[in-house]
Chains A and B, each alone.
Chain A
Amino acid sequence: MEKVLARFRAISEQPYQSAAEWKKLNKGKIIGTLPMYFPDEIIHAAGALPVTLFGNDDEPITLGDKHMMTNACHQVRSSFDLLLKGHYDFLDGIAALHVCDQVRFFLEVWQLDHPLPFFHEMWRPYKLHDTSRPLLAQELKRLLNALEEFTGNKITPDQLLNSIAIYNQSRAMMRQLNQLRSDYPGIISAADMVHVVTSSMLIPREEHNQLLAELLSAIDTTQLPVVNRIRVVAAGHPCDPPEDELLNLIEEQGLVIIDDDFFTGGRYFAEDIKADGDPIDALVDYYMNSTPCSTYHYADDWRREITQTSPYAEYIIDKVKKGQAAGVVILRLMYCDPLDLEFVLLKNRLNQENIPYVSIFTESGPGAFEATRTRIQAFMESL
């Protein structure tokens, strides 16, 4: 089990090495996508390798602040920085959808500042409502056509369904692993769970499925460490993967994360896309019914009696109850508009339900690490 985990870690820590190697061997195209929710399955169906672009925590941002917006989130500034420094030059193109204002406006200047042969932006409607379906379908088709043109490969509905099925398989296995972590806490560390999901976004999905299947079969539930830690749900930290150090810190203090809603975690594998019928319809359905996220606008609720202030908060509360967790550790990023606005609603709901939580900003620098340790300890003691 350790060997496979080490493999996942290695891929996550050197994110683009595997992609560069794949390119040499396969002579295929690599399309970088930005978090979150890009329909990688379509890229896969075009015979290209989709690779998610995360910023780099260890590389100081220099060129990335060229347009001055230093109070934008680290993920966006860092990936822009890496783009300008040529770290993404192995890519044949970039594709993204606008999860937030920062991504949208930075993307506009990306292609102008550092053009790549293929650049595609897709509009994902913020309103998850029937009126949004036609445009979303049109946008998915537009993406499909653009990829067909760029790769020279036709994408038939069957091919797309096939790609969807492969990704569904991946998600199913991740859900399986996630359930194991709830049933047998400590079986896999939170950091490793993140590595499993992150690495899937960096190598061909088929390869990852094989590794993940290996991991699952290597898990022996009869030989488990006895864990006497307090069960918690980790929430927040959209887009890029939370740092190992932080997750390990949390789990070393006597807590164990039994579920999370990170992009490189729970929300990535929560839902499957229907793998039969019209694949574009299936993708539209997937988006329309997606896991609640602070980056969506929920219009439908306002036609009924207003009972829910935040579907996202309900989603987290549901996780806490299903997972029989004692509380929530909310990981926050600096300058993340969607999560910062959602947080106010979330904390109010958690307070209403008497669910204990602690909110931690993840980028306060190593000096603040000790402060974080203290806060987690204090939180734990309060549970």
Chain B
Amino acid sequence: METKELKIGTRLEGQKRLGGLITDHYNSAREIELTREKPIAWASTLAPSEILWAMDFCVQYPEAYAATSGARHVAHGHCEITEQRGYERHLCTYCRNSIGATIGQLEGREVFEPLARPDFLLVTNNTCILITKWWEHLSHYWKVPLINIDCPVLLPGMDEKEAVQHVKRQLVDLIKFLEEFTGKKLDYDKLQEIVAHAKNSSDNYREMLNKNKSVPAPATYFDIMGHNFPNLVLRYKPEAAEHYRLLNLELDQRIAEGVVPFANPKYRIYWDGLPYWFAIRQLSEKLKSLGMCLITSTYFEIFAFDKLDPDRALDSLAETVATAYFSRSVDYKAKFTEQVFKDYQLDAGVFAYAMSCKPGSITMRYVSDYVQNKLGVPMTMIEGDLVDETFYNAERNNMKLETLAEMLESMKK
């Protein structure tokens, strides 16, 4: 990679704006918790929250809370609470963080910035099956209703349209329940408006991801990763699309001026799996020191609600939920990942195995081998967990990253 005339960028301006959006969101939720002017719902990442927003719910995301807990190093403490109640250590740590924080909240313990208490829970099983059991526990603790949208794995031979219909039937049923629950009818015009905002936000989000196809890339994966928050939590508001629009302008400017995120980025690297939330800084520093610029990850696909269409609000919502990336077969994911390597001109891959996340990790070796065999790019697999740092050994992982750098070096010769 040429390193002529490259300026080193400082922190993205958009970071400040993002911070403001996040603070406003949580402040507003705390306010609503006190005034009870709106019902509060907890939703899973791939849930059809558009329906909740259209019915004037304030929506919170326990999975985003788990990520924050990991980043603030409080997740392990939450998980420990669950161990005392009989939850086994190997269980998903997003789940145990959430349950631990819930128990803490209910028992008046000190819990890091707890989520506003829910009146309703909405979960989908298109990330995994365990999540449905996890949320059943949440509904027992909070004593509030839970609805699960069952999303089939898109198996070879299965007709995708049938999966979409299956989800749609459940969305109709969900709406019926919510109308009973809130005593209000769903305003379909409002739903359409929200889906329009969400689509706008998603399109801009996708554009943001595409910026890193540039060589050199204007930002690293670490710079971008926090910016999935607006599309996940705030896409119902025009502010989300606006945030991305401004961020994209900023990234465009960087590309035009040849600004890079750190000095001497030598290699363009792919990250597979979810982030190790507690190790962001450490990993970021280590990769920087090796000249490795983390460019992108298929993890970002989860937050891309591309298929939304305001002209077919409910149908496109059903499609979005039914055909999410995590519902795809491993064969699909392997091919998709290969394409990402090509589109983003990537030199190597880091596969981040997470001890307690089976959906993410079991198929990692297959995808890594597939892409390596097709494209001849070196890969490494590091180990850790999503939020519980006791499963992480920085030194071991550093060694593997160094080996990857050495492999790349020797390929140049």
Contact = CB atoms under 8 A, between A and B. Distances in A.
A/B contact in complex, CB under 8 angstroms: yes
B155 A123 contact: yes
Q: Is the interface of B mostly helix, strand, loop or mixed?
A: mixed
Contact of A109 (B91, B159, B169, B363): B363
Contact of B331 (A112, A295, A303): A112
A122 B156 CA distance: 10
Interface stretch (A66-74, A177-185, A222-230, A250-258): A66-74
B87 A344 contact: yes
Contacts of B329: 108
Contacts of B358: 69, 72, 101-102, 105, 337
A126 B147 contact: no
A38 to B, nearest CB: 14
B366 A67 contact: yes
Given A105-B358, A105-B362, A340 B177 contact: no
Contacts of B108: none
A291 to B, nearest CB: 17
Given A72-B358, A98-B153, A123-B155, A105 B143 contact: no
Interface stretch (A6-14, A128-136, A152-160, A192-200): A128-136
A303 B130 contact: no
Interface residues of A, number: 53
Contacts of A347: 86
Interface stretch (B61-69, B132-140, B207-215, B287-295): B132-140
A125 B149 CA distance: 10
B109 interface: no
B153 A309 contact: no
B281 interface: no
A40 to B, nearest CB: 19
Most buried by B among A105, A309, A343: A105
Contact of A123 (B136, B153, B331): B153
A347 B87 CA distance: 11
Given A135-B166, A298-B136, A343 B155 contact: no
Contacts of B381: 68
Interface in A308-359: 309, 334-335, 337-338, 340-345, 347
4 interchain residue pairs of minimum CB distance: A105-B362, A135-B166, A108-B330, A123-B152
22 contacts: A68-B353, A69-B358, A71-B356, A100-B129, A100-B130, A101-B358, A105-B362, A105-B363, A108-B331, A109-B366, A121-B155, A123-B158, A126-B150, A131-B173, A134-B169, A135-B163, A138-B159, A297-B133, A297-B150, A298-B136, A340-B87, A344-B87
